Structure 1
Amino acid sequence: MEQDQSNRRDAWKTISIFLIALFALSAVAHDAIVTLNPASIYVGALMWCPAIAAFATLKIRGRTLATLPWKWGSWSSNWAAYAVPVLYISVAYALIWLLGYGGVPNPETIAEWAQELGFSAASPIMTIAVMVFLLGTVQLIKSLGSIAGEEIGWRGFFIWELRKVMPFGAVSIVSGVIWAMWHYPIIIAYGGGNATFQLACFTLMIISMSVIMAYFTFRSESVWPAIFFHAAHNIYIQKIFSPLTVENEQTGFWIDEYGLMIPIVVTLLALYFWRKAKSEGM
């Protein structure tokens, strides 16, 4: 019992050091994003703050980088983690289009994609198919470097420390809340809408994603499924489905990471993974 209490105190010290380092580093990056130009340069720096905070914490605690879950894991876990965001994003946008909260396809996006690909404007189906394939593969691979910075910190380090002092459900919620709050300065600065509504939708979505990502991370004992999950989530929303959507007066309420539809769909999916984790004894 005494040894267990000592281990828990040690874990809480590690968690505290990580969070202090993370928010100190992130404050600098957030300030640069808001006040300096071009902001896109500093987004990459912000995304690597969780990894740098994790590395610093390991150094302070006398642990090595080899203790992180670097191994590749199974192909099935990596593919499944990639496919899950594609599933919930596809369902969410299909509902948006079917319910009339937005149209499809956006002719401006099709024309832009056709020009980039050197295709005829008369072949929209081919344009969409090729661009979705390229964005879902080549662009996703290009984004892995910055995504890895976040996931090394969050799923490669943070949730493993939380797991020493909390059950699976609490790990998912606590890590999700902190991960969401870490994004708040950017949403407030650049969201462009009702900040309270956007923060609520985003937070619900992030917590639900955290449940699913924690499941894949603990099951595979690898950070790679979370990296593929996160990359697919970003690409399919930001580069594919949102650009393909024709907006109307209702679209802003439902679309994207700050609208309501994706949080609803991914929350339902998170409940499935929560029960699955419980049944598997996580």
Structure 2
Amino acid sequence: MVPELFKHYDFSKTSVISGLIWAVFHWPLLVFLMGPRLDVSSFPMLAIGLVADVGLSTIMAWIRIRSSRVWTTVIFHMAVNSHTQGFFQNVTTETSSFTHYISGEHWLMLALVGAVIGFSFWRKRSELPVKN
């Protein structure tokens, strides 16, 4: 999807559009699976997940366009999921009702880290190949 979007839009629009699509794709998982499993309200997850997904999609779009390969992006996505779901969520001790809103997949820390690193990749957009 990203290479096709990049044919028609600049990198900023490509990243935001793919991030919005990615976020909306994840919303049913957040509402019907993660929220009930963690016993938390799903609605903050939707907003926080939107920020995280747009930030992470900026990183993945940059990697996808720069490498011309989908597998580099797949590996990045797998690494993010394994660390947020497999490591950080399992080593986090629940100390209050806000713990699940801070750590884990689609929560505040991922959104902050994704936004900051996504911004740094957005600033590197001049390193991407020139469109035909």
TM-score (norm 2): 0.88
- Secondary structure of the 1:256 match is coil
Q: CA RMSD in A?
A: 1.3
**Cα offset for 1:223?**
0.8
Q: Is 1:268 equivalent to 2:116 in the alignment?
A: yes
Q: Which residue of 2 aligns with 1:199?
A: 46
Q: Is the 8 A contact 1:201 1:257 kept in 2?
A: no
Match of 2:29 in 1: 186
**Cα deviation, residue 245, structure 1:** 1.2
Deviation sequence 1:39-83 (CA, Å, 0-9, x none): xxxxxxxxxxxxxxxxxxxxxxxxxxxxxxxxxxxxxxxxxxxxx
Partner residue, 1:49: none
Q: CA deviation at 1:195?
A: 2.0
Q: Where does residue 62 of structure 2 map in the other structure?
A: 215
1:168 counterpart residue number: 11
Q: Contact between 2:19 and 2:55, CA under 8 Å: does it hold in 1?
A: yes
* Contact 1:215-1:273 at 8 Å conserved across structures: yes
8 Å contact kept, 2:100–2:107:
yes
Q: Secondary structure at the match of 2:30?
A: helix
Give TM-score, length-normalised by structure 1.
0.42
The alignment-based identity, stated in percent, is: 34
The runs of 5 or more residues in structure 1 that have no matched partner are 1-157
| Structure index of larger Rg | 1
Residue 254 of structure 1 aligns with which residue?
102
Q: How does 1:35-184 map to 2 (within 5 A)?
A: 158-184=1-27
Gaps of 5+ in 2: none
Distance in 1 (CA, whole Å) between partners of 2:30 and 2:128 is 36
Residues 81, 105 of structure 2: 8 Å contact kept: no
Runs of 4+ in 1 over 4 A off after TM superposition: none
Deviation of the 1:258 alpha carbon: 3.0
Aligned residues: 124
